């Protein structure tokens, strides 16, 4: 262990610096995950009690250390129960960013089957989006490149049919029993319809409705591209990694779908939700009055 410097009786080494840095990053990521929810206050309460416990233990206050120690022992189990949704979300985020989450990678590694191309004819999606947009028919399509999303597909009705314009239009027709929910598209097939998606817990501008909230939530927890057709305006949007591109032209939509399905990095083309809130505030400027 390489000693860097000493502060009184404390000896600081390179390992200590790395340890402190990693703990700081972990706490920051936990804060980002819980920010804006009620769980952040509970987390800060647990953290405060733990810091007090460390302090009284260092000062050798035995009675208070025993009481807080017993509380911390039970508190770990309580925290797992209280933070169950946040823990699940955290594990989903880790799984999404891991190379092991790619089903094709596992299949190639274990020689289960040959790699299948993920590029397919996107014309039916583009043409269906045009028709749905023209009639102000709301739609929500999850396009996946690496996974069949079985967990989300099973929340709806399994279809497993080739993608076609007529199929997508008939699903999202307001009189169809399948229109309420999302469609999951993988490897050129509509895997399921009427699927339930996780809704984002972040504050988003009022201009985005429930479909947009579900699209953003899905893109936060999975490596998918989510297409939204607004029922109110007919505008087409895409969401990825918790970000969104709003009011796209169909040429832009085609280019982004092609880039995503061929494995190109398109993350930097998407805008954070906060930009739309700021742009809305800029439009609301007080008018000057003359004397």
207 phi and psi, to 5 degrees? -70, -20
At residue 197 the predicted structure's pLDDT band, cuts being 50, 70 and 90, is very high
- List all residues 6 or more positions away from 227 whose beta carbon is below 8 Å from its beta carbon: 125, 129, 139, 140, 141, 142, 143, 215, 236, 237, 238, 253
Distance CA 179, CA 174 (A): 6
Pairing of β 224-229 and β 236-240: antiparallel
More confident: 112 or 277? 277
Q: Are residues 266 and 130 in the same domain?
A: yes
**What does the pLDDT average to over 25-37?**
69
Pick from 31-45, 46-60, 144-158, 244-258 the range whose average pLDDT is largest. Answer: 244-258
For residue 121, is pLDDT > 60? yes
Helix 14-34 vs helix 39-58: crossing angle, to nearest 10: 150
User: Which residue reads 């998918």 in tokens?
Assistant: 224
CA dihedral (145, 266, 95, 22) in degrees, to 10, reads 170
Q: Is residue 201 part of a domain?
A: yes
More confident: 283 or 165? 165
Q: Are residues 250 and 127 in the same domain?
A: yes
Distance CA 51, CA 24 (A): 15
Q: Is residue 211 part of a domain?
A: yes
Helix residue spans in the chain (DSSP H)? 14-34, 39-58, 62-82, 84-97, 103-109, 123-134, 150-153, 165-172, 210-221, 250-261, 273-283
The H or E element that residue 240 is part of is: strand 236-240
At residue 96 the predicted structure's pLDDT band, cuts being 50, 70 and 90, is low
Q: Is residue 224 part of a domain?
A: yes
What is residue 82's three-state secondary structure? helix
Check: pTM over 0.75? Answer yes or no.
Answer: no
Give the per-residue pLDDT at 89: 64
Question: Whose CA is closest to 273, among 182, 208, 199?
Answer: 208
Q: Are residues 32 and 149 in the same domain?
A: no
Sign of CA dihedral 216, 272, 37, 90: positive
Distance CA 247, CA 208 (A): 12
Count structural domains, the chain: 2
Q: Are residues 130 and 94 in the same domain?
A: no
Q: Is residue 25 part of a domain?
A: yes
Last residue of a domain, one of 59, 82, 109: 109
Q: Are residues 135 and 49 in the same domain?
A: no
Contact 252, 263 (CB under 8 A): no
The residue range of the domain holding 77 is 11-109
Distance CA 64, CA 69 (A): 8
| DSSP symbol at 234 | -
Q: Are residues 94 and 133 in the same domain?
A: no
Q: Are residues 99 and 205 in the same domain?
A: no
For residue 282, is pLDDT > 90? no
**What does the pLDDT average to over 144-159?**
88
CATH code for position 230: 3.40.1700.10
CB neighbours of residue 119 within 10 Å = 14
At residue 285 the predicted structure's pLDDT band, cuts being 50, 70 and 90, is very low
Last residue of a domain, one of 109, 137, 171: 109
Q: Are residues 138 and 171 in the same domain?
A: yes
Q: Is residue 291 part of a domain?
A: no
At residue 202 the predicted structure's pLDDT band, cuts being 50, 70 and 90, is confident
Q: Are residues 102 and 225 in the same domain?
A: no
Q: Are residues 216 and 253 in the same domain?
A: yes
Distance CA 99, CA 97 (A): 7
At residue 45 the predicted structure's pLDDT band, cuts being 50, 70 and 90, is confident
Q: Is residue 220 part of a domain?
A: yes
Pairing of β 139-144 and β 224-229: antiparallel
Q: Is residue 115 part of a domain?
A: no
Q: Are residues 142 and 260 in the same domain?
A: yes
What is residue 170's three-state secondary structure? helix
For residue 109, is pLDDT > 50? no
Q: Are residues 153 and 238 in the same domain?
A: yes
Mean pLDDT of the chain: 79
For residue 5, is pLDDT > 70? no
Q: Is residue 117 part of a domain?
A: no
Contact 102, 96 (CB under 8 A): no
Longest distance between any two alpha carbons in the chain, whole Å = 81
Last residue of a domain, one of 81, 109, 137: 109
């Amino acid at each position: 262990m390489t000693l860097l410097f000493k502060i009184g009786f404390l000896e600081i080494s390179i390992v200590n610096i790395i340890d402190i840095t990693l703990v700081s990053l972990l706490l920051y990521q936990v804060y980002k995950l819980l920010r804006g929810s009620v769980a952040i206050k509970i987390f800060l309460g647990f953290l405060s009690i733990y810091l007090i416990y460390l302090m009284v233990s260092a000062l050798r206050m035995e009675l208070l250390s025993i009481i807080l120690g017993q509380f911390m022992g039970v508190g770990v189990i309580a925290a797992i129960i209280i933070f169950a949704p946040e823990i699940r979300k955290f594990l989903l985020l880790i799984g999404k960013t891991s190379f092991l989450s790619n089903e094709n990678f596992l299949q190639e590694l274990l020689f289960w089957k040959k790699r299948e191309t993920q590029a397919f004819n996107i014309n039916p999606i583009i043409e269906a989006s045009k028709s749905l947009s023209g009639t102000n028919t709301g739609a929500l399509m999850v396009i996946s490149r690496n996974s069949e999303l079985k967990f989300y597909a099973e929340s709806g009705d399994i279809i497993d049919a080739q993608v076609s314009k007529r199929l997508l239009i008939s699903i999202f027709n307001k009189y169809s029993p399948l229109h309420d929910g999302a469609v999951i598209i993988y490897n050129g097939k509509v895997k399921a319809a009427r699927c339930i998606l996780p809704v984002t817990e972040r504050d988003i501008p009022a201009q985005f409705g429930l479909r947009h909230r579900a699209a953003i939530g899905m893109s936060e927890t999975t490596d998918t591209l989510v297409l939204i057709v607004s029922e109110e305006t007919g505008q087409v949007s895409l969401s990825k990694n918790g970000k969104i591109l709003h009011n796209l032209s169909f040429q832009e939509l085609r280019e982004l779908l092609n880039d995503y399905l061929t494995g190109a990095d398109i993350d930097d083309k998407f805008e954070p939700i906060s930009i739309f809130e700021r742009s809305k505030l800029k439009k609301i400027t007080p008018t000057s009055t003359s004397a």
